[in-house]
Amino acid sequence: MKKLLLSLIALVILGNFSHAQETFPRNDAADERPSAFAFTNATIHVDHQKQLTQATLLVKDGKVVQVGNNVTIPKGYQVVDLKGKTVYPGFIDIYSNYGMPEVSRGGGGFGARSTIGPGNPSAYNANDAIKSQYDAFQEFKTDEKTAKKLRDVGFGAVMTFKADGIARGSSTFVTLGEGRSNEVMLAPKAAAMYSFDKGSSRQAYPSSLIGSISLLRQTYFDASWYKSLKDKPFADNGLDAWNANQSLPQIFEANSWINALRADKIGDEFGVQYIIKGGGDAYQRAQALKQSNATVVVPLNYPAAYDVEDPLDAYNVTLAQMKHWELAPANLAHLEKNGVPFAITAAGLQNPGDFLKNLRKAHHYGLSKTAALKGLTTTPAQLLNMGDKVGHLNPGAVANFFIADGDIFEEKTQIHENWIQGKGYMVKGTAPADLSGKYTLSFNGETHALEISGEPGKQQAKIVAGDASIEVSLKVDGAVVGMHFSKTKDGEKITLTGWQQDNNLSGTGRLEDGTFVSWNAAYTAAAEAAAAKPAAAAAEAPQTGEVIYPFVSYGSAQKPQQETILFKNATVWTMEAEGVLTNTDVLIQNGKIQKIGKNLSANGARVIDATGKHLTPGIIDEHSHIGGAAINEGGVNNSSMVRMYDVVDSEDQEIYRALSGGVTAIQLLHGSANPVGGQSALLKLRWGATPDELPIQGADGFIKFALGENVKRQRNSDPVRYPRTRMGVEQVYVDGFTNAQAYEQEWKRYNSLSAAEKANTPAPRRDLVMDAMVEILNSKRFITCHSYVQSEINMFMKVAERFNFRVNTFTHILEGYKVADIMAEHGVGGSTFSDWWSYKWEVRYAIPYGSTLMSREGVLTAVNSDNAELMRRLNQEAAKAVKYGGLDEYDAMKMATINPAKLLHLDDRMGSIKVGKDGDVVLWSDHPLSIYARAEKTVVDGTVYFDVEKDQEMKLAIEKERARLIQKMLGEKAGGASMQRPTGRMRPRFDCEDEFTYTGSNY
């Protein structure tokens, strides 16, 4: 029988601080008690690595005094024998909202009214989402109910903050003790907190992820500019606080690996290494996270298995969802294996009580105990520069530790007590007595063989007579033991009540006839151990499927590799003066087109028989919205500072589907929500790559402008934003460029000053909106302008001419045919829909002959998609110029290849099959302008990213993988696991007009 730690529990109840806050007024006699404890005979984890056995821990006045094996217990210490117990440093969660007020959502809601300027009338930042002035310590209040939940799973201290805004001010670091907030606060200002979410702000800007990133970027510039000003032109207490907070650890809430990389890049721009709160998906790009050098704060929430019994319901669940279900518990193991430093948080768990269960699951899936403990102690402590105080039990540390009855990673282990700042808190209720054993039960002259077995609290009893046995109902209530049973089935009951004394039981009882008797049960032997559970299960991490890149259907574990490829006997559409070459070979090597000719050969090349097939350059879509997490920053009428490069999304399956239609490069454009949109990202469709690997290196800078109905917002519910007419649209441009000229002059003046003069002259404010406008004026950034009717098209060319630059491209340009002569003269290209019309008034006079008319008038013309479906068929869109107006087929094909390359200034390396150009080609089954042509192979940089045969193999592999996962989930269900409904995931398919950010995931 195991002895209860009665003495210990008494201490817990009595334990108190000896160092109550001196500054507080006192009302009666002092009640300060000795607070010195010696915990002996324990297994002690001093830190995540160092473990002592048979050790002693001395704690006095809330601090660790000594820990070791040969510790002499000084006088005045209460000794607590922890034989068989294990002591761990209290866990630390640095991502908590413990004790903080609820945050109301302000800026959200579809069609909600918003404001242009800040709503906060006080002297803070110009944007309500910058709340650096907020300090969590000012509002923090201890909250015993929540504290207990966290203590019960081993936490001793948390960093807590208010999750509101993009710059969220500072967090505070507190223990989970009871009492005054004053007593539990270890560091009032612990870290500076950031996110992409504007929270309660009702200000229109930022309305999207691109805007949030731009706001952060501008705020870094503003803050340093503001700091540099000796004579401040205005007070901005938000920026002051921002600057002051820079000395704190900087923590960024990203919640997913892809946002983690985005956050890290912002940090890189300004020399800040964020600590990043990630998601449970970090395993999907662990290497990329490793390269970011960020320490990641990782939650332990795992999705439940999907209830996939019904095959038609199962059909709706994505592969990524299924795979994520399987791999989420292995998240931390993957991070450990890849060397990504991490801290572990309970944030995101619906029930904090699941924390230990999930931690053990992470361990079961391969996370080492040391790494787990490090992520819960040393790492979080060091991240907050609190490594001297918490996270370990070395002398001087805050006495935060918990006592468990074994290894915390074992299923059975329970935490008995959690000590915070030297004060004990009971976790597990008084352990019920362990009555297990064999007894001789005697009463009223009878003797019976009684057996009690099972875990304390859940013990069962029976009376054994030979092979037969009688069920005995057993109830243990504190110190009182009750039993009742019937000797025969349905017979009258005998009830016994009593207590445990040494190993024996005795008491008083009532027989069938109501007679009271004394009884006793003499302990004779230990109970037979239950059949040992197979321990092997715990030893080996479960088998899981592979991580695929990207983490979505048709991603693969092995990223596609560059090859030397020789196409033999193709009909080659060079898109150069050479025209169409028949029976021609093309060699692609080192990612470039190496040779074009007859009877080519190359050692080690993969030879592809292209007899009867057509080889064209890769299709380039001048107007695309795939591969991005947000399309519009509509909160302002000039968002020239936002950058699509900030939100490239490598996990968009439309990238693969576009490859299946022969597309190899795109311009990821900002949308058309405002007259001046944002900066484009020029991407190659490298399926499987990280977001950073998609951009085309060295490409020119482009920016989206927009004319037309969308920017006027007359169909929008929120009418506050200027402009409302095409008259106002012109003025936005004239105003923007006029200001840009003045801005450039101001900087030129400043830059021409000597160093001494500069020291005495306030620097102009760096304005990212104006930077982009100046780039346009200087032809260092080029405009793609969404446009429909001839009046506005003409207007915009005149604006450009007034400011002495040229518009690069009019996109959509459905009435371009009416001003093709003026366009040709201006030198602007047209990237157009082939046959869209009539979906709104401004396209009423759009005709499918537009591309033919513009082409023939000398306008460099391309076809574009603005649509993930259509972009797979841009060759057919080009072909429509053959039907409508009889454009030459070769000229038509140019509209999908070399012409968009020229519009994007990429024609020196893409858009045609020419030696030295990028190995971006498509092998078609048929004439490429034919409806019957299918892209059989799409090659980017000499890498086959789409292969129609491999596509079918992958489809089968996906079905197989899904079948495996479905079987596994059915097994979970049979095993009694709680399941979730088989709902699916859907990405939005963005077009020009979509104004929301896609914050979701494929899983």
Kindly tell me which of 107 and 380 has the beta carbon lying closer to another protein.
107
Interaction pattern, residues 241-280, with another protein; x per rule: CB under 8 A: ----------------------------------------
In 820-866 the beta strands, taken as DSSP E runs, fall at 829-832, 861-863
The residue written with tokens 């063989």 in the block is 449
**CB distance 574 to 567 below 8 Å:** no
Least distance between another protein and beta carbon 594 (Å): 30
Q: How far apart are CA 405 and CA 415, in angstroms?
A: 7
110 binds another protein (CB under 8 A): yes
CA distance 733 to 705: 10
Told to check if 104 binds another protein by CB under 8 A, we report: no
Residues 878-897 that bind another protein (CB under 8 A): 879-880, 882-886, 889
Q: Which is nearer to another protein, 93 or 995 (CB)?
A: 995
Please name the amino acid found at residue 970: L
User: Omega before 34 cis (within 30°)?
Assistant: no
One residue of 263, 349, 665, 933 binding another protein per CB under 8 A = 933
Binding another protein by CB under 8 A: which of 71, 930, 964, 973?
A: 930
* CA proximity to 666, closest of 891, 877, 896: 896
| 1001 in contact with another protein (CB under 8 A) | yes
Q: Which is nearer to another protein, 301 or 400 (CB)?
A: 301
Task: Pick between residue 12 and residue 552 the one whose CB is nearest to another protein.
Answer: 552
How far, in Å, CA of 834 to CA of 874, rounded?
9
SS3 221: helix
737 backbone φψ class: left, alpha, beta (φ>0; ψ -120 to 50): alpha
Q: Whole-number minimum distance, CB 776 to another protein, in Å? A: 30
User: 80 by DSSP, 3-state: which?
Assistant: strand
Question: What backbone phi and psi angles, to 5 degrees, belong to 203?
Answer: -70, 140
| Contact status, residue 541 vs residue 333, Cβ threshold 8 Å | yes
CB of 79 to another protein, least distance (A): 55
Residue 312, interface with another protein (CB under 8 A)? yes
Do 571 and 614 touch, CB atoms closer than 8 A? yes
Q: Is 554 an interacting residue with respect to another protein (CB under 8 A)?
A: yes
Helix (H, G, I), strand (E, B) or coil at 931: coil
CB closer to another protein out of 475 and 840: 840
Closer to another protein at the Cβ: 425 or 551? Answer: 551
**Span from 152-160, 307-315, 500-508, 798-806 in contact with another protein (CB under 8 A):** 307-315
Task: For the segment 653-672, give every residue that binds another protein (CB under 8 A).
Answer: 653-654, 656-657, 660
* Nearest Cα residue to 108 out of 1001, 997, 1003: 997
User: Would you say 481 or 711 has its CB closer to another protein?
Assistant: 711
Burial class (CB within 10 angstroms; exposed 0-12, middle 13-18, buried 19+) of 599: exposed
Q: How far is the CB of 573 from another protein (least distance, A)?
A: 15
Q: Supply 750's token pair.
A: 């400043």
Residues 821-850 that bind another protein (CB under 8 A): 821, 835-841, 844-845, 847-849
Of the candidate spans 5-13, 240-248, 282-290, 812-820, the one that interacts with another protein by CB under 8 A turns out to be 812-820
Closest CA to 945 of 710, 655, 650, 667: 655
**Cβ atoms 390, 365 nearer than 8 A:** no
Measured distance CA(968)–CA(982) in Å, rounded = 15
Q: Which is nearer to another protein, 234 or 932 (CB)?
A: 932
Q: Does 313 bind another protein (CB under 8 A)?
A: yes
Span from 317-325, 458-466, 592-600, 662-670 in contact with another protein (CB under 8 A): 317-325
The correct pick among 873, 894, 917, 937 for binding another protein (CB under 8 A) is 873
Residue whose CB is less far from another protein, 169 or 661: 661
Residue 820 makes contact with another protein by CB under 8 A: yes
E-assigned strand segments in 130-208 = 155-160, 167-170, 172-175, 185-187, 192-195
Q: What angle do CA 615, 616, 621 make, to 5 degrees?
A: 145
Any contact of residue 988 with another protein (CB under 8 A)?
Answer: yes
Interface positions, 696-735, toward another protein (CB under 8 A): 709, 715
Give the C-alpha separation, 539 to 398, whole Å: 35
Pick 48 or 927: Cβ nearer another protein? 927
C-beta of 714: minimal distance to another protein in Å?
11
Minimum CB separation of residue 973 from another protein in Å reads 19
User: Binder to another protein among 145, 932, 974, 978 (CB under 8 A)?
Assistant: 932
Query: On the CB side of 358, how many CA atoms lie within 13 Å of its CA?
Result: 25
Query: By C-beta, is 826 or 927 nearer to another protein?
Result: 927
Q: Which stretch binds another protein (CB under 8 A): 49-57, 181-189, 563-571, 978-986?
A: 978-986
Q: How far is CA 628 from CA 625, 644, 659, in A?
A: 6, 7, 16
Q: Does 794 bind another protein (CB under 8 A)?
A: no
Q: Is 818 in the site for another protein (CB under 8 A)?
A: yes
Contact 564, 604 (CB under 8 A): yes
Q: Is the peptide bond before 982 cis (omega within 30 degrees of 0)?
A: no
133 lines the binding site for another protein (CB under 8 A): no
Q: Kindly identify the residues of this chain, within the stretch 470-529, that bind another protein according to CB under 8 A.
A: none
**Contacting range for another protein; rule: CB under 8 A; set: 34-42, 397-405, 510-518, 957-965:** 957-965
Q: How far is the CB of 842 from another protein (least distance, A)?
A: 9
Q: Which of 318, 851, 897, 943 binds another protein (CB under 8 A)?
A: 318
CB-wise, 143 or 993, nearer to another protein?
A: 993
Select from 323, 242, 328, 325 the least CA-distant residue to 278.
328
| Angle ∠(705,711,716) on CA atoms, nearest 5 | 150
Residue whose CB is less far from another protein, 117 or 886: 886
- On the 0-12 / 13-18 / 19+ scale of CB atoms within 10 A, 677 is buried
Q: By C-beta, is 703 or 853 nearer to another protein?
A: 853
Least separation in angstroms between CB 854 and another protein: 10
**Least distance in angstroms from the C-beta of 978 to another protein:** 17
The minimum distance between CB 320 and another protein, in angstroms, equals 7
What does the DSSP assignment read for 375-395? HHTHHHHHHTT-TTTSSS-ST
Distance of alpha carbon 338 from alpha carbon 323, whole angstroms: 20
Q: Is 685 in the site for another protein (CB under 8 A)?
A: no
Q: How far is the CB of 790 from another protein (least distance, A)?
A: 10
Beta strands in 756-813 (DSSP E): 781-787, 809-812
Q: Provide the minimum distance between the beta carbon of 934 and another protein in the complex, in angstroms, as a whole number.
A: 6
Q: Does 803 bind another protein (CB under 8 A)?
A: no
Cβ distance to another protein smaller for residue 86 or 1002:
1002
Using CB under 8 A, count the residues that bind another protein: 82
Of the residues 316, 556, 738, 741, which one makes contact with another protein according to CB under 8 A: 316
Give the residue with the Cβ less far from another protein, 594 or 672.
672
Is the distance from CB of 535 to CB of 546 less than 8 angstroms?
A: no
Query: What is the C-alpha separation between 335 and 338, in angstroms, rounded?
Result: 5
User: Of 212 and 660, which CB lies nearer to another protein in the complex structure?
Assistant: 660
**Residue 737 · residue 816 · CB < 8 Å:** no
Spatial separation of the C-alpha atoms in residues 854 and 827, rounded to whole Å: 12
Measured between alpha carbons, how far is 3 from 1 in angstroms, rounded to an integer? Answer: 6
- Contact pick of 522, 958, 970, 979 for another protein (by CB under 8 A): 958
Query: 894 is written with which tokens?
Result: 């140019």
* Nearer to another protein among residue 388 and residue 959 (C-beta): 959
